[in-house]
Amino acid sequence: MTQIMSRFDDLRAALAGTVVTPDDPGYDEARQVWNGEFDRRPAVIAYCESAEDVARAVAFAREAPLEISVRSGGAHSGSGMSVGDAGIVIDLSRMNDVVVDPVARRAVVGGGALLREVDAATQAHGLAVPTGEIGHTGFAGLSLGGGMGWLTRLHGLSLDNFLAVQVVLADGSIVRAAPDENPDLFWALRGGGGNFGIATSIEIALHEVGPQVELGLIFYAMEDAADALRVAREVIADLPPDVAFQVVALNAPPEPFVPLEHHGRLGFALCVVGFGGEASHRPVVDRVRDALPPPLFELVTPMPYTALQQMFDEAFAWGSHGYVKALYLEEFTDEAIDVIVTRTAGTASGRSSVHFYVLSGAYCAVADDATAFGGGRTPRLCVFVVGLASDSTVLADERVWVRGFYDAIAPHALGRGAYVNELMADDVHRVPASYGDKYARLQQIKAQYDPENVFHRNTNILPTP
């Protein structure tokens, strides 16, 4: 290590960006990740400012040698893989430019851009790309594994909108992957996560969205939860194409629209988001209202798309201690509803939640074999059981709750796979099942581009021997 430390000055000289070691001011801040469960101490953090910087950092790490962690900007890896002990963190957060071509409806997104930065740049032109729903998440890290959210029913996953990707490979070379250039790599990058290289920029297709959208958030008490989920099942079956729908089990937040007596109360929110105006949104909201008893509270209002995209930011604040399990359900069957309601009642931290993303519409219009994405393209619910707490002691109990919930609902799931972005370190055995028949092809491509598995701090795909 002494010899490596003496060479960090060489790395500083080679990069346009900044190099931070344990002896430098700001090291403790630089090594932080979103999930407060992880307190890792890397040997060096390289803040890169260009693809060339990234290539030099990769070459340095391989020669040292140092284990490579890649942080695309948000450090939102629930499993903490974006920062490791005693290795190098290649941080792309300064490569966060978002260059929009409003005429062509395209944008080039830097490898370190956050979702809120992508949304701000594209919404300036009345455009958007499907992303996740927490603004301080890194776009590249999210989208390489999928990228699902409010726009998925209308325009697919983030990766369905990729046009090209600039990648730094394990050998330090910088290549472009697109349908007409390195097409096998382009296929693998759309779903294979960070296994094949470091994405330094992504060219994406954009769509007309907003700037105002329609929100309907209708919150039901636990005693009405089973009926609410059955109504959700009926509504989901024939949603208009320009309406998104989600179900979230959570403790009611201390917001002005929530009556004081219901602050912190556990229940289920049926969330209806309209992108085509009130004409298509209002009938869905009314259908929910008419089929159920009066809710504890509701919020039905137009709002900026950028505000919708950051609605959960505070609930998932930096430093939160988190643990998650994910799976797919075909629908809210009566048997699954019984499990969901019973298990939801077992959460105790006050910050945990269960999210049910409705995947249909444009999500299903993409052929399953067109990308490496691990989820099937039939209509389904993507389920996230999220244990969240303010410290490790509370999370220890919530982790037991998450695992118990998962074990109870798993018999009703679509196979043993999951959304790969939400696989934790103890889910490594689920990686092949999550990709299914695509896994063997991904292993072959991994062997071609990263035969030594240099990029393994991720939802790892082992190269074919």
Which pLDDT value is given to residue 5?
Answer: 57
Q: Return the number of other C-beta atoms located less than 10 Å from residue 374's C-beta.
A: 28
Hey, what are 258's tokens? Answer: 């929530």
Residues 235 and 384 in one domain: yes
What letter does residue 436 receive in the DSSP assignment? Answer: G
Residues 328 and 262 in one domain: yes
User: Is residue 17 in some structural domain?
Assistant: yes
pLDDT for residue 456 is more than 70:
yes
User: 80 falls in which pLDDT band (50, 70, 90)?
Assistant: confident
pLDDT for residue 4 is more than 60:
no
Question: What's the domain count of the chain?
Answer: 3
Length of the chain: 465
Mean pLDDT of 120-126: 98
pLDDT for residue 1 is more than 60:
no
Residues 353 and 396 in one domain: yes
User: Is residue 434 in some structural domain?
Assistant: no
Residues 258 and 382 in one domain: yes
User: Is residue 180 in some structural domain?
Assistant: yes
User: Is residue 15 in some structural domain?
Assistant: yes
Residues 317 and 393 in one domain: yes
Mean pLDDT of 448-455: 97
Which pLDDT value is given to residue 309?
Answer: 97
Which pLDDT value is given to residue 340?
Answer: 98
What integer best gives the mean pLDDT of the chain? 95
pLDDT for residue 94 is more than 90:
yes
User: 7 falls in which pLDDT band (50, 70, 90)?
Assistant: confident
Residues 369 and 397 in one domain: yes
Helices (H), 265-391: 278-291, 305-309, 334-344, 362-365
Residues 210-223: pLDDT tens digits?
A: 999 999 999 999 99
What CATH number has the domain bearing residue 312?
A: 3.40.462.20
Residues 366 and 397 in one domain: yes
Cβ 348 vs Cβ 264: under 8 Å: no
What CATH number has the domain bearing residue 59?
A: 3.30.43.10
Domain ends where: 153, 179, 209? 209
User: Is residue 451 in some structural domain?
Assistant: no
Which pLDDT value is given to residue 385?
Answer: 97
Hey, what are 268's tokens? Answer: 């289920």
User: Is residue 448 in some structural domain?
Assistant: no
Least confident of 40-54, 66-80, 284-298: 66-80
Percent of the chain with pLDDT over 90: 93
Residues 150 and 220 in one domain: no
Cβ 276 vs Cβ 151: under 8 Å: no
User: 3 falls in which pLDDT band (50, 70, 90)?
Assistant: low
Which pLDDT value is given to residue 417?
Answer: 87
Domain ends where: 178, 209, 240? 209
Which pLDDT value is given to residue 437?
Answer: 95
Residues 135 and 219 in one domain: no
Domain ends where: 91, 112, 133? 91
Mean pLDDT of 133-159: 97
Residues 48-60: pLDDT tens digits?
A: 999 999 999 999 9
- Quote the domain boundaries for residue 365: 212-427
Least confident of 70-84, 263-277, 343-357, 404-418: 70-84
Percent of the chain with pLDDT over 70: 98
Pairing between β-strand 106-110 and β-strand 198-205 as defined by DSSP bridges: antiparallel
User: Is residue 54 in some structural domain?
Assistant: yes
Residues 137 and 221 in one domain: no
User: 79 falls in which pLDDT band (50, 70, 90)?
Assistant: confident
User: Is residue 464 in some structural domain?
Assistant: no
Residues 281 and 226 in one domain: yes
In the sheet with 106-110, reading across from the earlier edge strand, the strands are 98-101, 106-110, 198-205, 162-168, 174-177
Residues 308-359: pLDDT tens digits?
A: 999 999 999 988 999 999 999 999 999 999 999 999 999 989 999 999 999 9
Residues 372 and 343 in one domain: yes
